C-alpha cells in the first residue's frame, strides 16, 4: 500500500519524481536542493559576503563543542554533578572542566558556536558564488594567426 506523503517540492520534476518513486519528503527536499544548487542563477534571497561577515563580527563569545555532565558519588554517599566542554581537535576528543558558576555562559557560547558554523557555511557558499560570477568565461586560444591563414612552412 502506498502512503500519502506531504510533497513540499515545487511543481516540476520533483513532484513527478515523487509519483513514480515514493520517497520520504525529506529526501525529495534534499534532492531538490541539490538540483537548485546546480542551477546557474542563484535565488534572490542570497546574502552578500559583507552582510554575513557583519553577522559573524556581531556574534558574542562562541565555542565549538558540546557540554556533557557526569556524576561522581563521594565516599559519604553524596552525588556531585560535574560539567565539561568536549570538542575535537587534531583528530582527538578534548575536554575542559566547566565550573558550576560559569555553566550558563558556556551553554550560550556553545549555541553561538552552532550559529557561527552555519554562518561560515553560508559565507563559503557566498564566496564561491562571487568567484563564479566575477570570472570571465574561458575562451579557447586560437592557434591560427589573426588573418586566419597558416604561416608558410620553412624548407
Tell me: the pLDDT tens digits for 105-139? 999 999 999 999 999 999 999 888 888 887 676 66
Residue 4 lies in a domain: yes
Same domain, 26 and 85: no
The Cα 68–Cα 98 span in angstroms is 10
Residue 23 lies in a domain: yes
The bridge status of strand 66-73 relative to strand 92-98 is: unpaired
Residue 29 contacts residue 9 (beta carbons within 8 Å): yes
pTM of the model: 0.54
Q: Which of 116, 80, 113 is nearest to 99 (CA)?
A: 80
Tell me: the pLDDT tens digits for 14-64? 444 444 444 444 444 444 444 454 444 444 568 888 899 999 999 999 999
* Of residues 79 and 153, more confidently modeled: 79
Residue 36 lies in a domain: yes
Tally of domains within the chain: 2
Residue span of the structural domain in which 20 resides: 1-40
The Cα 59–Cα 56 span in angstroms is 5
Residue 146 contacts residue 67 (beta carbons within 8 Å): no
Residue 92 lies in a domain: yes
pLDDT at 84 over 90: yes
Amino acid at each position: 500500500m502506498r502512503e500519502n506523503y506531504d510533497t513540499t517540492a515545487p511543481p516540476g520534476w520533483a513532484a513527478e519524481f515523487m509519483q513514480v518513486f515514493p520517497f520520504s519528503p525529506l529526501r525529495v527536499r534534499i534532492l531538490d536542493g541539490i538540483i537548485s544548487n546546480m542551477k546557474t542563477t542563484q535565488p534572490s534571497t542570497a546574502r552578500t559576503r559583507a552582510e554575513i561577515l557583519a553577522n559573524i563580527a556581531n556574534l558574542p563569545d562562541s565555542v565549538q563543542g558540546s557540554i556533557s555532565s557526569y556524576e561522581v558519588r563521594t565516599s559519604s554517599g553524596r552525588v556531585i554533578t560535574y560539567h565539561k566542554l568536549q570538542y575535537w581537535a587534531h583528530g582527538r576528543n578534548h575536554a575542559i572542566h566547566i565550573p558550576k558558576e560559569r555553566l550558563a555562559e558556556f551553554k550560550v557560547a556553545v549555541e553561538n558556536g552552532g550559529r557561527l558554523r552555519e554562518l561560515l557555511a553560508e559565507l563559503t557558499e557566498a564566496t564561491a558564488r562571487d568567484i563564479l560570477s566575477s570570472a570571465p568565461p574561458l575562451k579557447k586560444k586560437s592557434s591560427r594567426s589573426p588573418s586566419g591563414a597558416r604561416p608558410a612552412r620553412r624548407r
